[in-house]
Amino acid sequence: MRTFKYGDEQIRTRDIMIAVPSMLIAIGIIIFPRELADKTIAADGWVSILFGGMIAILAVWLVTKLAASFPNQSFLSYASYLVTKPVAIVITFLFSVQGILLSAFEVRAISDISHQYLFDQTPIEVVALSFLLVVVYAVSGSRAGLFRLNSMFLPIIFLITTLLVFFSIVFINTDHLLPVFKTDAQGYVQGTIESTISFSGVGIGIFFFYISLVKKPEKAPAMAAFGMSWVVGLYIVVYLTCIAVFGENTTANIRFPLIELAKTIEIPGGFFERLDSVFFVIWIMAIFNTTALAFDVSVMALNSIFPKVDKLKIIFVLSPIVFFLAMIPNTYLEIGLFGRYVSYFGWGFVGVILIILWVMFKIKGAKQNEK
Amino acid sequence: MARSLFNRKKQNTQASQNKQQPQAAAGKNITKNLDSNLEEIKKLLGNPSDLVTRELMIGGLETRAAIIYINGLTDKDLINDNILKTIQLNMKQFESNVLEKIYQEVIAITDIKKSTTMDEVSSAILNGSTAFYLDEMDTVLLMGTSGGETRSIEEPSTESLIRGPKDGFVESIETNIALIRRDIRDPNLRFKQHEVGKRSKQKLVVSYVEGIVNQEIVDEIDRRLKTIDVDIVADSAYVEQWIEDSFLSIFPQIANTERPDRVSTALTQGKVAILVEGTPFVLLAPTALSETLQSMEDYNQRWVAATLQRTLRYFSAFIAVFLPGLYIALVSYHPGMIPSTLVFSIAASREGVPFPAAVEAVLMAATFEILHEAGIRLPKVIGQTVGIVGGLVIGEAAVSAGIVSPIMVIVTALTAIATFSVPSYSIAITFRILRFSLMIAAALLGLYGIIIVYIMVNIHLVNMKSIGVPYTAPFAPSFVSDWRDLIIRAPITKLIQRPIYLKPTDEQSKDTKPE
Amino acid sequence: MKSKKILLICIYAFLSVVLSACWDAIEVEDKGFLSGVAIDLAEEQGENMTFEMTLQFVVPGGLGTATEAGGGKAFRNLSQTGESLYEINADIARQENRSTNTEHLKLILISTDIVEQEELFGNVINVFLRQSDMRRGMLLGIVDGKAKDLLEVEPEHVKIPAQYISELMENPRNTETIEQVRVGEIQEHLLANASFKIPQLAFFSDDRVNYEGVSIFEGDKTKMVGTLTGGEVKGLNFIIGKDQLGNIVADIEGEKAEFVILKGGSKIKLTNKNKENLKFQVDIDVETQLSQYEGTLDFYKQENLEKFEKSIEDAIKKMSEDALKKVKDELQADVLTFGNHLRMHHYELWEEIKDDWDHGKNYFSKSDATFNVEAIVREPGNTIKIQTKGDK
């Protein structure tokens, strides 16, 4: 059927700008204030976020820049050019594994947090399965549709965060923000590492793949970096609010500081007296975005290795794997460990690949363009 | 899924094109014998009682002639004054080449043409033309005399405005085209004629403004219209359902209107209008979800008022879809979110209600739907009775009988009012379906269920298209410049661009460039 | 068609999972909403510490609606004794026909008997902080005597005692009270081992509860060390610079005058950094309005106005010094936010001494503070004079 061509499977650079925060805002920011507050004094953590953010922005820029140097080429094809085909296939496969792990973690985390804040009796399998099915539904649709979903959900996520921060103003105790700059260098370094992992552990690697869908990717690196700066801004605002409301000690001892912040707020005269359930439920959209993109990238990576296999088949092979991976951890400690491994893997892996590819790129140049 | 549907349609068309019309007389030419000609045409049409045959002798020549028309489809005054009378008065002068002379000089009707085939003659007669047969000639004159009883132009009953033009489309396609022509005097305004209905042979006109519209949209619509294979198109809804992108979706993918001003505005924005003979409802395509919450009134009020009205409509759409679901979720799953005083009073009012909130809500919502359905097709007088029975008896009685809680009545009523404030009836139906699915989801999984359904609906929406144009435009894909006419209706002077999501050929609607 | 089959499988999977659902749905009228908790020590003590916990459930039917008043009591109290709060809770659940819902719990009352014992307070509070469906905004009150009795108080205008008490604590229009204390804030203090204060209430009569004063908790051992009442609380509030609403009574040339405080604040400064003898200077600024004065001074004269202001300053200074003396010397628990000031503005010094601040070597009790009060009378009220007694 020949329909009106809307450039369907192609996305615009603006979509990349929206996809970056959609991918990066997920579970991380809910837990992150706790980990950072542990390492820094009073509100000093924002410096770490800023540094970590700058590293992440640079990383995102490097990823998109490299991918944009090979416009309209799939990752596999330009990676084959840079590091020979077998290596490229291994890398692509690892990306797919990372995507699966990440989706599994997000699915598990969402079921776990909903158990904390929404349900008592409902089995986590049900929560996880219903979420996963929705993700599968989204991934089975068009890829451009995923990016449209991002741009539908992202404003809502920013809006609810803004509301949260706005309503917490009443509960802010400025004493908590002082003293400033008393953290020692070690604390800053640890905090920076912490925030870098939180930023890029989630998988900026996906943009190796998605840039190939952008028609004119020249502007994509700048747009992606700009999108990343939103994330950094959001992290800083959320962190400062958590510290200002709870103080560093309490923040470091709350399991999900961001949701607890929502719980603290009582809107006088509002229809909702407590925001925590609403907030978490809306946050599900953010987590959904991340999971869907991660899943989609696994599918895309596998599809590029096995171009003849139907996309739907890959999805239906992968989804049980994701589900069972998600169900493996038993206790909160194991989930935490799972999350750690996923983000270390994501971070280390993307970092190494980024360095290798860039070195090869500098050596070989973007010759393939001329072909 | 949509794709498979289309394949099916394609095959159907090919099949139908191969079939030939069964009638015996079809394809025949006119003979030179008047009697046999009349016999043939009567046979072809089945000698209906409303077929009028008037035979006459033409003056000095003593040549036999006849006019044939169908009573009721034609304007009798026109036939009497401009055909019969003029022929009878003038005929004596002619000696030779009578038909040509009559064609050229006598008949005082502008719409006249010659024909030589039975097919053409019969379909012209069925369209309200008058055929003039002359003995010993194999050519027939067809005179456009269509008329008869039609409804006059009235204010559309389904889309009334406080301020704005008061005319509405009627069943006559010629009048409808004229109404659009009166609004747009651009020579680029195009009316492309199709014929639909295997039996009904209705006119269908695709209208657009060349130079604004994206030609690919027109071509796509043409292609889809050609696949239509039905006996009769009783309303443009048949066409709508045939050419829409996804028949599985609950969302309306093509807009319809009775208002010429709305059609004209849409045409100048780069859309395509589809007019069907016999119905005042004109289709507008492509359409987007956001447009279902817009009304023509928005442009007739000043921009602040219009913006506030639109915001209100978005809010009421939210209530119409979510409120009962939220009520169930909050009452059955998350009472902690409701302010303490309210939750205690809800609990107090629900004490003694035998059903869980979900059953209660479904019960009330279903009652409302039944009332709504009952009221729609009743005469106005009885309709009021339904209102009283529904509102007073069921509402009051259900509460005092302890079947539902008073707060549920409020929720239902609020939802009902919110549903009615949605300007498009077709999207209101969608909202009602969504409401029920959200209620079920909320009953099963509380707020989590609601958000899961919400995400699913969004996934469905972003994958949906209206004639190839993304249905969620201009939200996503986001066309920021289109946002000035979305929830905010910017001042008219600022609306200088045509909607970009339609990819119009000519983007500027005003000469001033945007800064 | 393949995709159709897959869709069907998805739908079946989803339905089969979901049709057995509704695990968590409990209708609102089947929930027992907890509005207040009181914790006492049981009268008969076993081997281990035995608590008595009283739960106050709301009876929605008794509340009535906006149009018709409800009949009967709007609450129901259930008490049990046991060795841990969980155990008691389980016991109570056996007597309650509805499932307990803590999401609307707003008040926790703890008897002084419990908080005067070391560490017990922390254990009790722990339960309330760990539960994710409880609010962080639950108010805390310490009860002099039996906490349980307060939940039996039935005021005429409010149907639920817990609501009455929490409204009482939320209303800080008196210098002798402090801002309400939320459970969430207590976590902060407990984590920092800092001393803190909680409002103290007592049973007054069958329809009234009295706001006694402020219980002071020592941070290290988390136990209550004493109570501030009346002027001491005022003094405390003046030093901290918060909650200074209310009245001051001052003495002007032998005649009483009463002032309403419009606005107040304080600033703490460290003047001597010797940790063995820290010296603080507290600048207190107060703006007042004359509310009652039966004397004869014409306060439209500058020198008389200064007399007024001087009298307020003296009164405030006196109260502050009393409070300081009691807190520093007697209770030795820093609730004056001096430690917080050090943390915010002299972080290095604070790091050095924070482990011995108001315990151990107790630098706090070795410190000293001076007060510098600046008061102005901004408005004289409506009338200048109501009686003529001979002007001066």
Which CATH number covers residue A151?
Answer: 1.20.1740.10
Query: Which residues is B57 bridged to in the sheet?
Result: B64
> Any residues with CB less than 8 A from the CB of B301 and at least 6 apart, and which?
B163, B309
pLDDT at C221 over 50: yes
Instruction: Answer yes or no: is A220 within a domain.
Output: yes
Residue A168's pLDDT is 87
CA–CA gap between residue B86 and residue B64 (Å, rounded): 16
Cβ proximity of C119 and C52 under 8 Å: no
pLDDT at A46 over 60: yes
Query: Which residues is C56 bridged to in the sheet?
Result: C36, C77
Residue C388's pLDDT is 60
Instruction: Answer yes or no: is A287 within a domain.
Output: yes
Q: What is the pLDDT of residues A231-278, one digit of tens each?
A: 899 989 998 998 888 888 888 888 888 888 888 887 766 667 778 888
Residue B307's pLDDT is 92
Q: With bands split at pLDDT 50, 70 and 90, how would you rate the model's confidence at B10?
A: very low
Residue B509's pLDDT is 66
Give the H or E element holding residue C267. Answer: strand C255-272
How far lies A226's CA from each of A57, A148, B203, in Å? 8, 19, 54
Exposed / middle / buried, residue B110 (Cβ in 10 Å: 0-12, 13-18, 19+): exposed
User: Which is more confident, B379 or B316?
Assistant: B316
pLDDT at C199 over 90: no
Q: Are A273 and B337 an interchain contact pair (Cβ–Cβ within 8 Å)?
A: yes
Nearest to A112 by CA among A238, A264, A255: A255
pLDDT at B4 over 50: no
Residue C222's pLDDT is 80
Query: Which residues is A260 bridged to in the sheet?
Result: none
Residues in A closer than 8 angstroms to C19, CB to CB, are: none
| The two structure tokens encoding residue C115 | 């908080």
pLDDT at B12 over 70: no
Q: Are C61 and B348 an interchain contact pair (Cβ–Cβ within 8 Å)?
A: yes
> Any residues with CB less than 8 A from the CB of B116 and at least 6 apart, and which?
B29, B30, B138, B139, B140
What domain count does chain A have?
1
What is the arithmetic mean of pLDDT over C107-125?
Answer: 83
Q: Are A274 and B220 an interchain contact pair (Cβ–Cβ within 8 Å)?
A: no
C4 min Cα distance to partner chain A (Å): 11
A153 min Cα distance to partner chain C (Å): 24
Suggest the residue from A113, A116, A173, A249 to mutate for an interface test with chain C (most C CBs closer than 10 A): A249
Q: With bands split at pLDDT 50, 70 and 90, how would you rate the model's confidence at B511?
A: low
Instruction: Answer yes or no: is A131 within a domain.
Output: yes
How far lies C72's CA from each of B349, B400, C62, C63, in Å? 16, 21, 5, 8
| Pairing, β B255-257 against β C255-272 | unpaired
- The rounded mean pLDDT for chain C is 79
Residue C356's pLDDT is 79
Q: What is the pLDDT of residues C264-290, one digit of tens each?
A: 888 888 887 777 788 888 888 888 888
Residue B326's pLDDT is 92
What is the arithmetic mean of pLDDT over B20-36?
Answer: 66
Instruction: Set out the domains of chain C in order of their start, with CATH numbers.
Output: 26-227 (no CATH), 229-392 (3.30.300.210)
Exposed / middle / buried, residue C107 (Cβ in 10 Å: 0-12, 13-18, 19+): buried
Torsion C1-C6-C9-C14 (CA) sign: negative
pLDDT at A220 over 50: yes
Q: With bands split at pLDDT 50, 70 and 90, how would you rate the model's confidence at C30?
A: confident
pLDDT at B401 over 70: yes
Query: Whole domain around residue A261: which residue ranges?
Result: 13-355
Alpha carbon C336 to its chain centroid, in Å, reads 15
Using the 8-state DSSP alphabet, how is residue A205 labeled? Answer: T
What is the arithmetic mean of pLDDT over A48-66?
Answer: 87
pLDDT at B512 over 50: no
Lowest mean pLDDT among A195-209, A275-289, B134-148: A195-209
Instruction: Answer yes or no: is A363 within a domain.
Output: no
CA–CA gap between residue B144 and residue A25 (Å, rounded): 69
Instruction: Answer yes or no: is A246 within a domain.
Output: yes
Residue B251's pLDDT is 92
Instruction: Answer yes or no: is A100 within a domain.
Output: yes
- C72 has a chain B CB within 8 A of its CB: no
Q: What is the pLDDT of residues B454-473, one digit of tens each?
A: 999 999 998 888 888 888 88
Q: With bands split at pLDDT 50, 70 and 90, how would you rate the model's confidence at B510?
A: low
Q: Are C28 and B350 an interchain contact pair (Cβ–Cβ within 8 Å)?
A: yes
Q: Are A118 and B338 an interchain contact pair (Cβ–Cβ within 8 Å)?
A: no
> Any residues with CB less than 8 A from the CB of B210 and at least 6 apart, and which?
B188, B189, B190
CA–CA gap between residue B214 and residue B272 (Å, rounded): 9
pLDDT at B358 over 80: yes
Query: Which residues is C265 bridged to in the sheet?
Result: C285
Residue B272's pLDDT is 93
Model-level pTM?
0.87
User: Which is more confident, B399 or A165?
Assistant: A165
Q: With bands split at pLDDT 50, 70 and 90, how would you rate the model's confidence at B15?
A: very low
Cβ proximity of C264 and C206 under 8 Å: no
Residue C392's pLDDT is 46
Q: Are B445 and C101 an interchain contact pair (Cβ–Cβ within 8 Å)?
A: no
Residue C21's pLDDT is 56
Residue identified by tokens 């999350």 is A339
Nearest to A60 by CA among A214, A208, A219, A194: A208
Nearest to C270 by CA among C195, C343, C374, C357: C343
Lowest mean pLDDT among A76-80, B386-390, C73-77: B386-390
Q: Which of A118, A126, A179 is the closest to C343 by Cβ?
A: A179
List C residues 21-50 in contact with B (Cβ-Cβ < 8 A).
Answer: 21-22, 24-29, 31, 33, 35
Residue A348's pLDDT is 83
What percent of chain B has pLDDT above 90? 21
CA geometry: angle at B259 spanning B258 and B260, to 5°? 120
pLDDT at B303 over 80: yes
Q: Are B337 and A274 an interchain contact pair (Cβ–Cβ within 8 Å)?
A: yes
Other Cβ atoms closer than 10 A to C262: 15
What percent of chain C has pLDDT above 90? 0
* A186-200, B230-244, C168-182, C320-334 — most confident range: B230-244
Suggest the residue from C1, C5, C28 to mutate for an interface test with chain B (most B CBs closer than 10 A): C28
| The two structure tokens encoding residue A88 | 């490229």
* A10-19, A343-352, B111-120, B313-322 — most confident range: B313-322
Instruction: Answer yes or no: is A371 within a domain.
Output: no
> Any residues with CB less than 8 A from the CB of B119 and at least 6 apart, and which?
B26, B27, B28
